[in-house]
Amino acid sequence: VSRLDALRAELERLGAATFLVHHPVNVRYLTGFESSNAAVVVGPDRALLVTDGRYIEAARSVAGVEVVQSERELAPWLGGRLRDLAEPPVAFEANRLTYAGFEALAASGLDLTPAQDVVEDLRSVKEEEELAAIRRTTGVTNAVYERLGAQELVGSTEAEAAWRVEELVHEEGGDDLAFPVIVGSGPNAARPHHHSGERRIGAGETVIVDAGAALTGYCSDCTRTYVAGELDSELHAAYELCRAAQEEALAAVRSGASAHDVDAVARTRIREAGHEVLHGLGHGVGLEIHELPRLADTSEAILAAGNVVTIEPGVYLPGRGGVRIEDLVIVTDDGAEVLTSYTKAPVSVG
Ligand code: ZN
Ligand code: ZN
């Protein structure tokens, strides 16, 4: 089944005759076309790829679509022309459209049906070629962590360490970072989304390094916590707790498992040891760094074979330090195929 056909199969359930997709990553997923300003109008037996003059030449090489040239301001243009292009009711990406964009589409006078996460749900189950791409980009990250772990980081600032990670991603063949590198040392390691700064990494600290590479559009995501010299008993216990919670959650991953239940495995273990849980266990990864399914307390997702998800519990000691260990895995019928290969034993960089 082509990706466009997979979307067509959802039309009836949505009560729509046409699906208007404008989120750039979803347009890329459906057609292979990369543009910051494009839409696909998907009906039962044709698909229109709409984009402005800057992209029109590239759009003409896309198979399976008819190309329509728009003005630069896509939403108002669609508002004026949608009547000629789409059979109503028209489903649209309600969680991706701005209020102004919605008003522009509504000017068409067509019956509009809000839909959420329809293409995102299709994207959450990866095809073989997507899995191959994610294996390659994770290979970049794996090499980066091996090389970083062989370096002395004590005395460097977090920002310097983050820059070194960025260099290594390029040296190992990555196209780009999947997201800005997080390096959190000492008390900053207690803040899950810390921005790497001017703090110098000191002895006796944990150093959280969270990084991913982008390669051929696909992302990888890995976190390891390095140790700078000897940890005191409290930080050492936090490390062992995080590692045990991560391994237990990993063992609970398989198709058919509820994302809530897998999250609860790590959450319960960390809470019972007396720590607060500051974030969900993980998220899907693919063309974007945060995709479906989410693994969290509030998640209603059921894991499916072909999902690619992170398993990344954290144990945080406010003001003192923290530990996070993140693997990227493919969900299979038998369990988790772990793509991240770097050791989860504490590696000293001091
Ligand atoms: Zn990460
Ligand atoms: Zn992550």
Residue 210 alpha carbon to ligand 1 centre in Å:
5
Residue 223 alpha carbon to ligand 1 centre in Å:
5
Residue 62 alpha carbon to ligand 2 centre in Å:
32
Residue 60 alpha carbon to ligand 2 centre in Å:
36
Q: What confidence score (pLDDT) does residue 226 get? A: 97
* Separation CA 189–CA 158 (nearest Å): 11
Q: What confidence score (pLDDT) does residue 282 get? A: 98
Q: What's the one-letter identity of residue 219?
A: C
Q: 269-296: buried (b, 16+ CB within 10 Å) or exposed (e) per residue? A: bbeeeebebbebbbbbbbbbbebbbbbb
**293 upstream amide cis, omega within 30 of 0:** yes
Average pLDDT (51-63) is 95
Residue 290 alpha carbon to ligand 1 centre in Å:
9
CB of 187 closer than 8 Å to CB of 321: yes
* Separation CA 320–CA 189 (nearest Å): 8
pLDDT tens digits, 224-252: 999 998 999 999 999 999 999 999 999 99
Q: Which ligand has an atom closest to residue 210 CA?
A: 1
Please state whether the predicted TM-score (pTM) of the whole model is above 0.85.
yes
Residue 211 alpha carbon to ligand 1 centre in Å:
6
Q: Which ligand has an atom closest to residue 285 CA?
A: 2
Average pLDDT (48-58) is 96
Percent of the chain predicted with pLDDT > 90: 98
Identify the three-state secondary structure at position 321.
strand
Q: Mutual orientation of helices 74-85 and 99-106 as an angle, nearest 10°?
A: 30
pLDDT tens digits, 83-124: 999 999 999 999 999 999 999 999 999 999 999 999 999 999
CB of 72 closer than 8 Å to CB of 35: no
Residue 282 alpha carbon to ligand 1 centre in Å:
9
Residue 148 alpha carbon to ligand 2 centre in Å:
19
pLDDT at 1 over 90: no
Residue 327 alpha carbon to ligand 1 centre in Å:
8
pLDDT tens digits, 132-175: 999 999 999 999 999 999 999 999 999 999 999 999 999 999 99
Residue 267 alpha carbon to ligand 2 centre in Å:
16
Residue 295 alpha carbon to ligand 1 centre in Å:
14
Residue 311 alpha carbon to ligand 1 centre in Å:
9
User: Measured at the alpha carbon of residue 79, what is the angle toward residues 76 and 81, in degrees to the nearest 5?
Assistant: 110
Q: Which of 181, 210, 183, 178 is nearest to 198 (CA)?
A: 183
Residue 79 alpha carbon to ligand 2 centre in Å:
38
pLDDT tens digits, 171-204: 999 999 999 999 999 999 999 988 899 999 999 9
Residue 310 alpha carbon to ligand 1 centre in Å:
8
Residue 177 alpha carbon to ligand 2 centre in Å:
13
Torsion angles phi and psi, residue 312, rounded to 5:
-140, 65
